[in-house]
Amino acid sequence: MEHAHTPGGAYLKNPARRCSGAPLLLAIASCLLIACGGASSDSPADSTPGTATLSWDAVTAPNLGGYKVYYGTASGTYTQSVPVGDVTTYTLGGLNGNATYYMAVAAFDTSNHESPFSNEVSKAIP
């Protein structure tokens, strides 16, 4: 489990920690801010209990390393993450019932510099 990341936290405010040496990643970050979308609970991919299917727009950059999905049960606080590779759809499993999960995506480059988080989506797990 990773430490919690918060959108307004010091971790994001320190560009030297997140994006140093990666000017191309700044273009990635601006594209990713509108990228993440959540599937509705009526989606066939979400018919399995304890799952949420996410999809987002692809980032086009020659040094794209992939994406990481961040999630947690409080808005803006992501206590867990999973690297998902260079894909634009991912089904997050193992989510506990009777909880709402908040999720965001970040792109990373081949030097492991991460973009800021995408917009946040949520899903209530029955």
Q: What is the mean pLDDT of residues 12-26?
A: 37
Phi (first) and psi of residue 76, to 5 degrees: 80, -5
What is d(CA 36, CA 10) in angstroms, rounded to the nearest whole number? 23
pLDDT in tens, 35-70: 233 333 334 444 678 999 898 888 888 899 999 999
Q: Are 103 and 71 in contact (CB under 8 A)?
A: yes
What is d(CA 27, CA 124) in angstroms, rounded to the nearest whole number? 32
Query: What is the reported pLDDT for 49?
Result: 83
Q: Are 82 and 94 in contact (CB under 8 A)?
A: no
Query: What is the reported pLDDT for 60?
Result: 85
Which candidate, 109, 31, 25, places its Cα nearest to that of 65? 109
> Strand 52-56 and strand 36-38: pairing?
antiparallel
> Strand 80-85 and strand 36-38: pairing?
unpaired
Query: What is the reported pLDDT for 92?
Result: 93
Query: What is the reported pLDDT for 57?
Result: 87
Kindly indicate the confidence band of residue 80, based on its pLDDT and cuts at 50, 70 and 90: very high
Check residues 121 and 16 and name the one with the higher pLDDT: 121
